[in-house]
Amino acid sequence: MLSDKRDGRTANIGAAVGAKWMTKVLLIEDDGETAEEISAELADRGFEVAWAADGVDGLNKARALRPDAMIVDRLLPGMDGLAVIETLRKDQFSTPVLVLSALGAVDDRVRGLRMGGDDYLTKPFAIVELVARIEALLRRPVESRETTLRVGQLELDLLKRTAKRGNRQIDLLPREFRLLEYMMRRSDQLLTRAMLLEEVWNYKFVPATNLVDVHMGRLRHKVDGAGEAPMIHNVRGAGFILRNAS
């Protein structure tokens, strides 16, 4: 977790240099303290954050600022968070949205967000989870016709269902292949356990056992052979990142 934070700060410095291209995030959240924490964390990670405390203000800010991503609380005074999004969508406003919802309020409309390319997170959440999901939304993998995925020396042939690192052939079980494919499409991105469970295993709940760690351990064992520089990194308390080893 800490190492990751430091990485974030480095990124922040980089972003601050070219302030013009800073990613803009609009946060619509009525609780001031939560908003402050989220803003501070996102700012640390190099985002430019605008905050609106209610739906109407949020709508105005969204139209004026044209943010790259939005974080919207479901329960807002005056206007439902989903109504804000629907209004924006009608205006051909395609900014990806992360909805924050109380667990009890996760209904089909909220679940539908994931199908539409948006995402939701139930409160309470870990801040790393929020950041990871915002980054995932901002860096949605582009659909390519490429049949081979490459990250550094690692190659995944989607047709032949084979993987190799350099010249070394890696034997993968189907479930390991699926996991690696997902990670390679999102290399250099922090993938939280919850994201992996949802996307790779289609799990809609958090299992009692550390399923992800066990599966990841197996995969890592195969991908990072003896003497090779590690590519799969465990970010403590947060999740995993696949990075080019060099």
Count of residues binding another protein (CB under 8 A)? 25
Q: Does the protein bind another protein through residue 145 (CB under 8 A)?
A: no
139 vs 175 by CB, closer to another protein? 175
x/- map, 75-104, another protein, by CB under 8 A: ----------------------------xx
Among 108, 143, 146, 171, binds another protein (CB under 8 A): 108
Q: Does the protein bind another protein through residue 112 (CB under 8 A)?
A: no
- Interacting residues with another protein between 181 and 210 (CB under 8 A): 201-209
x/- map, 219-238, another protein, by CB under 8 A: ------------------x-
For the chain, report the end-to-end CA distance as a whole number of angstroms.
22
Compute and round to an integer the Cα radius of gyration of the chain.
19
Residue 189 to residue 218: CA distance in whole angstroms: 20
Burial code of 202-227, b = ≥16 C-beta within 10 A, e = fewer? eeeeeeeeeebeebbeebbebbbeee
As a residue count, the chain comes to: 246
Q: Is 51 helix (H, G, I), strand (E, B) or coil?
A: strand
One-letter amino acid for residue 239 of the chain: G
Binding residues (CB under 8 A) for another protein: these are 1-2, 103-104, 107-108, 122, 124, 126, 175, 201-209, 211, 214-215, 217-218, 237
